[in-house]
Amino acid sequence: MLTVVIFSFFLLLVAAFPHADVLKRAPPGIRFQTPKGTHPSLSFSKLAETSHNHQRIHGVRSKTNARSVAAILGAHQRQVGGTGYENITVTNAYGTQYATEVTWSGVPINLLLDTGSSDTWAIQRNFSCVDYAGEPVPQIVCAFGPSYPATFQYGETSPPQHMFIRYGDGEIVTGPMGFSDITLAGNLTVTKLQVCLANNTYWYGNNVTSGLMGLAFPSITNAYIGPQYEHDPGSQVEYSPLFTSMVSQGKSRPMFSIAIDRNSSSGVLAWGGIPPVKGLDRENDASVDMVITNLIDIPETAYEYSFYTIIPDGWDYDQKTDIKKYPYIVDSGTTLCYLPPYLASAINQAFNPSAVWLWAYMAYFTSCDATPPIVSLVIAGKRFLFNPADLIYRDMVDPETGLCMTAIASGGTGPYILGDAFMQNALVVFDVGHAQMRFISRPYY
What structural domains does the chain harbor? 17-260 (2.40.70.10), 278-441 (2.40.70.10)
**269-290 per-position pLDDT tens digit:** 999 988 888 878 888 899 998 8
- Are 252 and 187 contacting, i.e. CB atoms less than 8 angstroms apart? no
Q: Is the pLDDT of residue 9 over 50?
A: no
Q: Any idea what DSSP says for residue 274?
A: B
Which one from 114, 289, 313, 390 is the annotated catalytic residue?
114
Catalytic site includes residue 169 = no
Q: What percent of the chain has pLDDT over 90?
A: 47
Q: Is the pLDDT of residue 399 over 70?
A: yes
Handedness of CA 335, 336, 340, 341 (dihedral sign): negative
11 — pLDDT class (breaks 50, 70, 90): very low
Beta bridge partners, 440, equal: 285, 427
pLDDT of residue 357: 93
CA 379/CA 428 separation, integer angstroms = 12
Bridge pairing between strands 363-366 and 404-406: antiparallel
pLDDT of residue 2: 33
Handedness of CA 329, 330, 332, 338 (dihedral sign): positive
Burial class (CB in 10 A: 0-12, 13-18, 19+), 123: buried
Catalytic site includes residue 114 = yes
Handedness of CA 185, 190, 194, 199 (dihedral sign): positive
- Note the helical H segments in 198-298: 242-248
Which one from 285, 289, 313, 331 is the annotated catalytic residue?
331
What average pLDDT does range 237-241 have in this prediction? 93
42 — pLDDT class (breaks 50, 70, 90): low
88 — pLDDT class (breaks 50, 70, 90): very low
pLDDT of residue 304: 54
Range in 43-57, 217-231, 271-285, 380-394 the model is least confident about: 43-57
Picking from 433, 335, 338, 317, the residue whose alpha carbon sits closest to that of residue 386 is: 317
CA 387/CA 374 separation, integer angstroms = 8
Contacts of 125 (CB under 8 A, 6+ apart): 147, 148, 149
Range in 86-90, 328-332, 353-357, 366-370 the model is least confident about: 86-90
CB half-sphere exposure, 136, CA atoms < 13 A: 5
pLDDT of residue 332: 80
Residue 213 is inside which H or E element, if any? strand 211-214
**169-210 per-position pLDDT tens digit:** 678 999 999 999 999 998 999 999 999 999 999 998 889 999
pLDDT of residue 445: 53
pLDDT of residue 315: 97
- Highest-scoring range by mean pLDDT, 22-26, 325-329, 332-336: 325-329
More confident residue, 315 or 229: 315
- Are 100 and 58 contacting, i.e. CB atoms less than 8 angstroms apart? yes
pLDDT of residue 1: 37
77 — pLDDT class (breaks 50, 70, 90): low
